[in-house]
Structure 1
Amino acid sequence: MKTLFPLFLILTSVIAMAAITPEVQAQSQQEPLGVMTYNIRYDNPDDAPNTWDNRKDRVTNLVKFYEPAFLGTQEALFHQLEDIDRALTDYRWIGKGRKDGKKGGEFSAIFYDPRKVELVAGSDSTIWLSKTPGQPSKDWDAALPRVVTWGEFEVKSSGDRVFVFNTHFDHVGERARAESAQIIIDTIEKIAGDRPVVLMGDFNIVDESKPYQILTSSSMADAIHTSELPHVGPAFTGGGFEVQIPSQGRRIDYIFTNNAVEVLKHATITSFREGYYPSDHLPVFAEIRLK
């Protein structure tokens, strides 16, 4: 009987190991990735006391605290991106100025952490939300040129790939926003197919709007509704620099994912100091896992 008991333990261990399928092993190796979208507000001297020089450290320190694998910025001018790049020493970024396709105008840039992910495609991929997406342009009732920036990334811990899109819809044109939503959905279907996708940005829309319906009637879903942990934070994202009680503003900044991405957590971050937020928008953060 003494020799049978160790043999029983060995057999039990073998059976238990055999029960761990490759799918289970792959799932256990998947590390969550942080995703943040943040309209940082363009450098406007009229924003005093909330000028860029007075708040840039608060913006970048917030990013450092949450350490997202991906950060989508909106409204950033080139010199602001340079400031962020100097502060976030572990990050790299992609994007083009919407005015000239170079350094001019605002960017919808994607910062990424090369310790966690590697850019494999899309380093030069900024698309204009217009009838001529390959060149600086605007159409319909848009007040300004608008863009979407995308990249394909490989997760270093698993080798899986994810496509990340970041955008900023027009603040005036209702048709332009609807057309922009359709352009992005068509682009996602063409480039990514059914592979993991994250779409984030300042969409200047609310849940009841036509662009929102276009986005969510496709393969994409609003991460606030699919998060395993119920949403944390307020229901608004844009309302100005000043902290107000009761809060005023609308939810116009979003993170969307397709069904190849699992959303673990979702939050609107309300960090403030001396009565002011670091920007006139609140950042939105999600923790995701690729399926």
Structure 2
Amino acid sequence: MKKIIFLLLISFISKAQNLNLMTYNIRYSTKSDGVNQWDNRKDHVAEILKYYEVDICGMQEALFSQITDLKERLPNHNYIGKGRDDGKEKGEFSPIFFDKTKLELLKSETFWLSETPEVRGKSWDAAFPRVVTWAYFKDKKSRKKFYVFNTHFDHMGQVARKESAKLILKKIKEIAADKPVFLIGDFNGTPDSEPIQIIKNELIDSEIISTLPHFGPVDTFTGFEAKERENSRIDFIFLNNKNIIVKKHATLSNTWGGLFGSDHHAVLVNLKL
């Protein structure tokens, strides 16, 4: 009997694997950023993923050239995603990088935040086309399966952000049903904004249920400035299942000689499915 109990305990422990999940707006590659241009930051972005042993990172403002740079620096990671302009390589991606040594990709797709999600384009008062990239993963060790949806809401269109929140919740129900889901991204809205409230009516803000208190700055957008900007928490990790244990929630404000990896802080959660 003791042997059976021991084996059951070992089996339970082996299936309760930690997962490090991150959302990170890495800022477009543009020469006008001067000292903060991508060539001076790309190594640091990769270092963050390596140091914190990130299993999944949903990025925003990632151009294909930046994705290529990161792929070269992250040999254990692969990515999925499409450019918002042509559904291939042009324009911003909302890619999902994942550790291919730990996770098996079962399915993935990209849709647009518009009235015609399967067609490239924009709707409402959006300034630009916006996309959602989603993936269905299986943890190779625990065998548990889950979905990740990654997005970047429009920065100008108030109606677009509200309608995008409604659309993405509808899509999550259609695609994931009752499976564990993580919705991550740059939502260009603060916790009390209407789009975030719409999301929080159905999903859970991971910060709220973290076992340990939040670590790091509260706000996530910095504009490359060391001074914290008030009321600029716009990057979130949401989930749909209260049985998922969020152990830690952090905003990472690492710098290298005063240089940030991006004009946003990365947001990281450590959890158990």
Q: TM-score range by the shorter chain?
A: over 0.9
2:188 pairs, out of 204, 207, 210, with: 204
* Conserved? CA contact 1:101–1:135, under 8 Å: no
The CA deviation at 1:187 is 0.9
1:229 pairs, out of 208, 212, 217, with: 212
* Conserved? CA contact 1:197–1:261, under 8 Å: no
Partner of 1:174: 158
Partner of 1:253: 235
Unmatched 5+ residue regions in structure 1?
1-13
* Conserved? CA contact 2:133–2:149, under 8 Å: yes
* Conserved? CA contact 1:229–1:264, under 8 Å: yes
Unmatched 5+ residue regions in structure 2?
none
C-alpha distance in 2 between matches for 1:20 and 1:116: 25
User: Normalising by structure 2, what TM-score?
Assistant: 0.95
What is the letter of the counterpart of residue 81 of structure 2? Answer: G
C-alpha distance in 2 between matches for 1:47 and 1:262: 39
The CA deviation at 1:273 is 2.1
Q: Tell me the SS of whatever aligns to 1:226.
A: coil
C-alpha distance in 2 between matches for 1:193 and 1:31: 23
Q: Tell me the SS of whatever aligns to 2:215.
A: coil
1:194 aligns with 2:194: no
Partner of 1:59: 45
Q: Tell me the SS of whatever aligns to 1:286.
A: strand
Q: Work out the number of aligned pairs and report it.
A: 271
1:98 pairs, out of 70, 84, 87, with: 84
Structure 1, 163-172 or 58-67: larger mean CA deviation: 58-67
Cα RMSD between the aligned structures? 1.6
1:165 aligns with 2:149: yes
Q: Tell me the SS of whatever aligns to 2:35.
A: coil
Q: Deviations over 1:205-256 (max 9, x none)?
A: 11111111111111x1000101111110111000211212xx2241000001
Partner of 1:130: 114
User: Normalising by structure 1, what TM-score?
Assistant: 0.89
What is the letter of the counterpart of residue 197 of structure 1? Answer: V
The CA deviation at 1:22 is 5.9
Partner of 2:24: 38
C-alpha distance in 2 between matches for 1:255 and 1:173: 22
Cα pair distance change 1:24/1:223, threshold 3 Å: farther
Partner of 1:83: 69
C-alpha distance in 2 between matches for 1:49 and 1:191: 42
What is the letter of the counterpart of residue 266 of structure 1? Answer: H
C-alpha distance in 1 between matches for 2:266 and 2:201: 25
C-alpha distance in 2 between matches for 1:171 and 1:23: 49
Q: Tell me the SS of whatever aligns to 1:164.
A: strand
Q: Tell me the SS of whatever aligns to 1:84.
A: helix
Cα pair distance change 1:181/1:21, threshold 3 Å: farther
Q: Which has the higher strand share?
A: 2
The CA deviation at 1:173 is 0.6
* Conserved? CA contact 2:15–2:143, under 8 Å: no
What is the letter of the counterpart of residue 95 of structure 1? Answer: G
C-alpha distance in 2 between matches for 1:24 and 1:62: 32
C-alpha distance in 2 between matches for 1:33 and 1:109: 18
* Conserved? CA contact 1:223–1:257, under 8 Å: yes
* Conserved? CA contact 1:242–1:276, under 8 Å: no
Partner of 1:5: none
